[in-house]
Chains A and B, each alone.
Chain A
Amino acid sequence: RKEVEQDPGPFNVPEGATVAFNCTYSNSASQSFFWYRQDCRKEPKLLMSVYSSGNEDGRFTAQLNRASQYISLLIRDSKLSDSATYLCVVGNSGGGADGLTFGKGTHLIIQP
């Protein structure tokens, strides 16, 4: 089983719609969770951390379900500029970034 698994998409979504995607992870001892955004041919950039209680940042909401071992990202009122690949990232050891495992990403296309 892959350590971090995401639906690669692409998700084609009209502007203004709400879109959600999930990511599953295999290591039940995982301690940290993040969503990164990667634009075409650019470096990944941290979008948000994911906390046990769930967290919201503007139009973006992230949630963690430890029992089912998945995290989710919800984007409301989607904008054309939200088009990107979204990487699910899970931290598996002692707190350092060397313990991070990256998913292959979900490709999102917002259509006008």
Chain B
Amino acid sequence: SQTIHQWPATLVQPVGSPLSLECTVEGTSNPNLYWYRQAAGRGLQLLFYSVGIGQISSEVPQNLSASRPQDRQFILSSKKLLLSDSGFYLCAWSIGAEAFFGQGTRLTVV
């Protein structure tokens, strides 16, 4: 069966510091991969998606970037965090329209 791993679970970072969140998927090949953000009181917002190695699509202009160095690895990064980057970050994979989420990273920028 397919599983998705995301880490760390929680993170507190100062403004201006870099960020790297990692997500890996097991049990499937060539999945579509996604990064979402859920801010307090708001719905899930799609940040990036990838249909293959090195292929990244960005949904919204922002302070973040994503990379897919391997088929089942998806990384979310920032060079300098802003206070507004705080939120619950979720990695997901899909084959078809259904999305399956990792456990999420709760990021607090202070």
- Which residues of A line the B interface, CB within 8 A? 4, 31-32, 34, 41-46, 49, 87, 89, 91, 95-100, 102-105
Contacts and interface: CB of A to CB of B under 8 A. Distances in A.
Interface stretch (B11-19, B68-76, B78-86, B89-97): B89-97
A41 B106 contact: yes
B44 A95 contact: no
A98 B46 contact: yes
Contact of A98 (B34, B100, B106): B34
A43 B96 contact: no
Contact of A104 (B43, B88, B98, B104): B43
B89 to A, nearest CB: 10
Contacts of B96: 95-97
A3 B94 CA distance: 22
Given A96-B94, A97-B96, A98-B32, 12 more contacts: A43-B104, A45-B101, A46-B99, A87-B43, A89-B99, A97-B34, A97-B92, A97-B97, A97-B98, A98-B46, A98-B59, A104-B42
A32 B99 CA distance: 12
Contacts of A89: 99
A102 B57 contact: no
B104 A97 contact: no
B77 interface: no
Contacts of B97: 31-32, 34, 91, 95-97, 99-100
B109 to A, nearest CB: 18
B103 interface: yes
Interface string B29-58: 000101000000111101001010000010
Nearest to A94: B97
Given A41-B106, A44-B44, A104-B43, A98 B57 contact: yes
B98 A43 contact: no
